[in-house]
Chains A and B, each alone.
Chain A
Amino acid sequence: MTPAQRESPAQQFGPGERVRVRRAYPPGHLRTPWYIRGHSGVVERVCGAYPNPEELAYARSGLPAQPLYRVRFLQHEVWPGYRGNAQDSLDVELYQHWLEPA
């Protein structure tokens, strides 16, 4: 890890914590799928900290690196009318600046 990556913002969430994806629709290159915004899930794991792709997309450094989380959502909470098993889940990797405590 580079020195600049080490200066990344402190990790705000840990495994098992409930988080909500910000309901935000800014222009630009976003890695947060449309369908998951506004939904809440549980942090499955912390993936590490990586340069921010929203910045890398414009040839900037993406530093400081942003903590990345794998968040687990329940399918029936994401899709209206979902008819599968109530425990079916869906994992999405999301950067910290897209998450808030739920």
Chain B
Amino acid sequence: MTDDPIQRGVHDLGGLPAGPVARSEHDYALWEKRVDALMVLLSNQQHMRVDELRRNIEGLGAQAYERMSYYERWVHAITQTLIQRGLISSDELGRKMAQVEQRQRESHA
């Protein structure tokens, strides 16, 4: 059996050494709860499927997959899905992100 990284996705970990499981409880940040809520709403409104979320997480690339936290992967994958489906455009998103950054700069000034 080969472990060709092109064939075997970085997410497909079954059987590989993984170290101990962290069993401690942890709180979620507000933004993480919002990402979760966003996914629930988009799924309920049939704007995306969990399978699209998974596919886009798998498409992250090994480095990003390993570096990102759970909900960072989610928000990336939700964004990708909405662009793929044409619900939002990259341009719209880019402009909105700039607006939000501007607002934050002003509120911290």
Q: How many B residues are at the interface, by size bracket?
A: 10 to 19
Q: How many A residues are at the interface, by size bracket?
A: 10 to 19
Per-residue contact bits, chain A 15-43, to B (CB 8 Å; 1 contact, 0 not): 00000000001000110011110100000
Please determine whether B52 and A59 come into contact, CB atoms closer than 8 angstroms.
yes
A57 touches which one: B9, B12, B55 (CB < 8 A)? B55
Please determine whether B51 and A57 come into contact, CB atoms closer than 8 angstroms.
yes
Chain B residues contacting A62 (CB-CB under 8 Å) are 51
A36 to B12, CA, bound (A): 11
Interface flag for B17 (CB, 8 Å): no
A58 to B51, CA, bound (A): 8
Interface flag for A53 (CB, 8 Å): yes
A78 to B12, CA, bound (A): 16
A38 to B14, CA, bound (A): 15
A78 to B54, CA, bound (A): 25
Give the distance to chain B from A74, nearest Cβ to Cβ, in Å: 15
Please determine whether B14 and A59 come into contact, CB atoms closer than 8 angstroms.
no
| A-to-B contact residues, CB < 8 Å | 25, 29-30, 33-36, 38, 53, 56-59, 62, 78-79
